[in-house]
Structure 1
Amino acid sequence: MSTVHTAITSVTRNIPSFVREPAVALIGEQCYTILVYDFEILHTECLKLALSKGLGLGIVVGGGIVKIPQILKIIGTRSARGLSLAAYVS
């Protein structure tokens, strides 16, 4: 095992539970162990799963973030005048 791999696994094996638990919920125990705990980032099946889940989560979170300025403007003006109801109700 290389020195870099040893250094990285010493960190990944001590990740706090508040980070570990959401990661396990996202990619599963087996893939978490392979990708994070053992730091085998070239494991194709788990890497594909992690990338897919990560991109999906990024899209959902990003979609929420882009609405924040509009929400703040509505709160600041205390009016939703000019918004199309049809754009939000389908």
Structure 2
Amino acid sequence: MFRCPHCNKPGISPLRKAILSPGLLATCTACSSFSGIRYPAWLIAMIPGTVLLIAALFVESSAAEWTLNIAGFILVVAIPFLYTPLQKEEP
């Protein structure tokens, strides 16, 4: 569980954090407050994976294309999940 920025208790599930984007809010199970992530942090976290996904469009080898696509997808999911901080939000 991830710590809520409102009550500082573990109240946001890993699955909810994994699908969190700037347009979606997470509700803390401990205090029922809303948390989210900001666009700048989310966009910066998306850059490495997006670069790999775009690079996959320009390689000739099928194996390299698959490798870049899989690595890019993993980075697009993992970096925001691990490194974007939760912020206090109002509904």
Q: Higher helix fraction: Structure 1 or Structure 2? A: 1
Larger-Rg structure: 1
TM-score when scaled to structure 2?
0.30
